[in-house]
A and B are shown apart, each in its own frame.
Chain A
C-alpha cells in the first residue's frame, strides 16, 4: 500500500499534568515511528470539557499528530493505540497534504472573498448614511434614552409592588 498522510487526534484524561501529557504524547509518537511512520508535526490542543463522559472522565486533554505512514501499517498502529491505557479515545483520519499550488489558490480565494466583503460593506455604509441623512432631515434627533440597568428595573418593580400593597 502506498504511503499516506494521516492525522491522529488522541484524547486523554484531564488529570494528567502537562508534563505527563508530554510523556504520553512522546509514547504515542514512538508508537507511530515503530509502525514505520514519519511524524511531521505534533501539537497539544489542550484541556476541554467533553460533550459527554468518556471512561467516566468529564474533562479531557487532546493532542494531535500529523504523520506519513504506509496504509498497511495503520491497522497495527490502531491496535497498539487501543492497548495503550492512557489514551481513552483516538481517531485517525486520512488527510491530504496541501501542495504549494493549492495553498496559493486558497490565498487567492480568501483575497477574493475579502474584496467582495469590503465592497458589500462599503455599499451598505453608503446606504446607511443616505438613510440616516433622510431620517435626520425628516425629524430632529430624539434624545437617547439612558439604558436600563438591572438596578433600575429592580427599583421600578419595588415601587410598583409597594403601590399595590398600599392600595
Chain B
C-alpha cells in the first residue's frame, strides 16, 4: 500500500547550508579556547555533530572536532551533559 509506505518514511534531515560556515568566515584556525565559535556544532547531548548535520567542509570539520576534543580535556566544554 503506498499510503503505509509513506507513513514509514523517515523525517527529512534539516537542510544543511550550501557553504561551509568557517569557509565563509575565512577562518584558517579554530581556537579551542573560544567555546562559542563551535558551540553550534555540538548536540544537546554534548556530542560532536556529523558532517551531514553541520554542513562543514572536510577540513573545517576535522579542525572543529579537534578543537572540541581539546576543550573537553581542558574542562572548557563537557564530555557528557549533566
Q: Footprint of B on A, CB under 8 Å?
A: 9, 11, 45, 48, 50-52, 54, 60, 62, 64, 89, 91, 93, 95-96, 102, 106, 109-110, 112-113
Shortest CB-to-CB span from B34 to chain A, Å, is 11
**Which of B26, B74, B78, B79 has the most C-beta atoms of chain A within 10 angstroms of its own C-beta?**
B74
Q: Beyond A45-B33, A109-B26, A113-B26, is A9–B74 a contact (Cβ under 8 Å)?
A: yes
Give A102 to B27 CA distance when docked, in angstroms. 12
Shortest CB-to-CB span from A89 to chain B, Å, is 6
Q: What is the interface of chain A mostly: helix, strand, loop, or mixed?
A: strand
Instruction: Please give, as numbers and ranges, the residues of chain B lying within 8 Å of A48 by CB-CB distance.
Output: 76
B4 at the interface (CB under 8 A from A): no
Would you list which residues of chain B between 33 and 76 have a CB under 8 Å from chain A?
A: 33, 70, 72-76
Q: Give the number of residues in B that approach A within 8 Å (Cβ atoms).
A: 16
Q: Indicate if the CB atoms of B75 and A11 lie closer than 8 Å.
A: yes
Q: What is the interface of chain B mostly: helix, strand, loop, or mixed?
A: loop
Shortest CB-to-CB span from B69 to chain A, Å, is 11
Q: Indicate if the CB atoms of B75 and A60 lie closer than 8 Å.
A: yes
Instruction: Please give, as numbers and ranges, the residues of chain B lying within 8 Å of A45 by CB-CB distance.
Output: 33
Q: Beyond A106-B26, A110-B26, is A89–B74 a contact (Cβ under 8 Å)?
A: yes
